[in-house]
């Protein structure tokens, strides 16, 4: 049995691949390298450079590697940019997912773990987001992820597809020094790149109704997230029941101010962050309950905030040129 990991050359996907190998499960990676890196793929794992929009290559990959299940991580993941590039976002995340599901149906592959997002909730007005919190995405990215969940739901009704969607919150850290977050939009890379360049990191707003005035978010370690993908895959293989969607959240948020203090402590680079105006639409707090995932998917917070920061920083330092 082999699991196809779409987007397996990316930051999150590459950690999922490693978690599969750690669990003695076979994997094959398909990635177009638009944001991933072939160097992130372990040497022992077959790599196919192709887009999920290419149905023929998907079918060839499924056949050649005897794929029995898919962990679908590939997609256009930049929520802010999606507002300027809605058609591209929908093509990659909606048409791409539909193309993948068609290839799976054609070859009789009936199980999938889908990489969804906290963005399906938009700006929730509750202190703790659960899977039942109303969905109100506020970007083409969030909308495309919600549509992806609907595609799985409808395909399950039509064909018996077995599936679950994992809604990520703020994914940070590194489980392998060979893999680090290269996103130009995420907080940790932005802070690290500023420090590497000798610049001062910035906080967007410090007048929110939170303990220190900065945004509170739910930060989870990428290796913990990867373990839960494998747990979901194992349950699908075993025919065990799963919820249609799970939040991967800590239940307890961390402020941007706390992140900055921890970064300064871990890196040994003292700094006082610059304060910029709030970004439009940024909520004060988004924190999720992970109770269902803890029950079914071996989900738990295995890393402290300092460990999240230090693992991410060491991985970034390993790639300094």
Active-site residue set: 141
Q: For residues 44 and 21, is the Cβ–Cβ distance under 8 A?
A: yes
Strand boundaries in the chain, DSSP class E: 2-6, 26-31, 47-49, 67-72, 111-117, 162-168, 170-172, 202-204, 216-217, 219-221, 245-248, 254-255, 274-276
Closest listed residue to residue 105, CA positions, set 74, 173, 151, 137: 151
Residue with tokens 């976002």: 89
Q: For residues 45 and 64, is the Cβ–Cβ distance under 8 A?
A: no
For residue 274, the SS3 value is: strand
| Strand order from edge to edge, sheet including 245-248 | 47-49, 26-31, 2-6, 67-72, 111-117, 162-168, 245-248
Q: For residues 94 and 149, is the Cβ–Cβ distance under 8 A?
A: no
Got the DSSP string for 178-215?
T-----SSSHHHHHHHHHHTTPPPEEE-S-SSSTTSS-
Residue with tokens 């992806």: 148
Q: For residues 104 and 159, is the Cβ–Cβ distance under 8 A?
A: no
Closest listed residue to residue 102, CA positions, set 195, 3, 94, 261: 94
b/e for 24-46, b at 16 or more Cβ within 10 A?
A: ebbbbbbbbeebbbeebbbeebe
């Amino acid at each position: 049995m082999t699991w196809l990991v779409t987007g397996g050359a990316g930051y999150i996907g590459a950690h999922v691949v490693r978690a599969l190998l750690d669990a003695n499960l076979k994997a094959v990676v398909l990635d177009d390298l638009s944001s991933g890196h072939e160097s992130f793929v372990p040497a022992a794992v077959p790599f196919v450079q192709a887009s999920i929009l290419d149905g023929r290559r998907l079918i060839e990959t499924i056949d050649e590697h005897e794929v029995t299940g898919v962990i679908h991580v590939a997609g256009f993941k930049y929520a802010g940019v999606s507002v300027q590039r809605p058609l591209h976002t929908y093509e990659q995340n909606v048409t791409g997912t539909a193309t993948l599901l068609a290839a799976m149906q054609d070859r009789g592959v009936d199980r999938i773990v889908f990489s969804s997002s906290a963005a399906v909730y938009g700006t929730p007005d509750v202190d703790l987001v659960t899977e039942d919190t109303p969905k109100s995405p506020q970007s083409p990215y969030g909308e495309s992820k919600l549509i992806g969940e609907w595609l799985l739901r409808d395909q399950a009704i039509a064909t018996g597809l077995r599936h679950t969607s994992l809604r990520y919150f703020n994914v940070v850290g590194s489980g392998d020094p060979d893999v680090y977050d290269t996103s130009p939009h995420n907080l940790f890379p932005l802070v690290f790149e500023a420090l590497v360049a000798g610049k001062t990191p910035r906080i967007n707003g410090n007048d929110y109704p939170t303990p220190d005035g900065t945004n509170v978010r739910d930060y989870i370690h990428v290796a913990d997230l990867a373990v839960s993908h494998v747990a979901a895959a194992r349950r699908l293989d075993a025919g065990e029941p799963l919820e249609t969607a799970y939040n991967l959240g800590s239940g307890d948020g961390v402020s941007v101010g706390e992140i900055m203090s921890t970064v300064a402590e871990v890196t040994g680079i003292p700094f006082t962050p610059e304060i910029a105006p709030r970004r439009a639409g940024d909520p004060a707090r988004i924190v999720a309950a992970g109770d269902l995932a803890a029950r079914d998917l071996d989900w738990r917070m295995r890393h402290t905030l300092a460990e999240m920061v230090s693992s991410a920083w060491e991985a970034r330092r390993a790639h300094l040129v």
